Structure 1
Amino acid sequence: MSRLDENLGGVGFDNLIADSYPPADVFSVQLAAGQGILERGTLLALKDDGTMETIGTETTGKANAVLTDPVDTGDAAEGEAVPGIAYRTGHFNTNRLIVAEGYTITAADREALRVAGILTSEAVEI
């Protein structure tokens, strides 16, 4: 039996979600193998083969999902897709979204996200 004055755990605040509207809805995704560890907040785009990868890499599709939890996709490009969970809708802080190194979220990316049901806002760092 635990004590009432004992801290059993906590939830960290990462400032990824900006607002409760539209509600954050999740769905199952297949992540392309060989991307290494993808962190929570990674902006994903659909590839031609039906898997998703970090926007700004070899992606040919438009950004349309945000990863909910870290996933290790492995280091080798060969292999089967790795399952993950992503937000299909929600309102997110742009400066907390993770993209490929050297890539910047464009106006076209923001529009594609908006059409998919994902809103983005700039958050003030405190």
Structure 2
Amino acid sequence: MSKRLDETIGTVGYDGLIVDNTPDADVFTVTIRKEASAAATYKRGTVLALSASGTGADGKMVILGTDPHKTSGTADEVLEANCVLADDTDVGTAADATALAYRTGHFARNKLIVKTGYTMSATDEENLRKGGILLSGALEY
């Protein structure tokens, strides 16, 4: 079997999500809470919030900007910006989903995704920064 040196084997597309190699983009496994009403696909670059404290806290992730009352049934659940989803992930209504997310890295602010109608706050950005996620304004080409 011969191999051709002038043949393209595969390509990698650049989506602009990661801005810089410093700090390293470290990946870990997260559990995303199942959807309450309809299955959804969470896209790469979605900012996930950790259910950190309060009556409904369960240590699972939801999309940043999610109303705690609608997901856990308790209004005192505290959801804190925590990480950035690394790959597109399907989240159903029957069971929680397991996914890969970046716990550290340097990302383009304009490529991040939050819940429709929600705007990331300075507190959200500070929570991400404390965890090792830096955000920058990046130009699109």
TM-score by length of 1: 0.91
Aligned counterparts, 1:77-96, within 5 A:
79-96=94-111
Identify the residue that residue 37 of structure 1 maps to in structure 2: 41
What is the number of equivalent residue pairs in this alignment? 123
Of 107, 122, 136, the residue aligned with 1:107 is 122
Alpha-carbon distance in 1 for matches of 2:96, 2:117: 25
1:19-71 Cα shifts (integer Å, max 9, x gaps): 11111111110011125101110000112211101101125321110000011
Aligned counterparts, 1:15-30, within 5 A:
15-30=16-31
Identify the residue that residue 58 of structure 2 maps to in structure 1: 49
Alpha-carbon distance in 1 for matches of 2:4, 2:87: 30
Unaligned 5+ segments in structure 1 are none
Identify the residue that residue 7 of structure 1 maps to in structure 2: 8
Letter in 1 for 2:49: A
Q: In angstroms, what is the RMSD of aligned CA positions?
A: 1.3
Q: Which has the larger radius of gyration?
A: 2
Alpha-carbon distance in 1 for matches of 2:4, 2:89: 34
Alpha-carbon distance in 2 for matches of 1:82, 1:6: 38
Unaligned 5+ segments in structure 2 are 52-56, 69-77
Residues 1:69 and 2:87 aligned together = yes
Helix, strand or coil at the partner of 1:111 = helix
TM-score by length of 2: 0.82
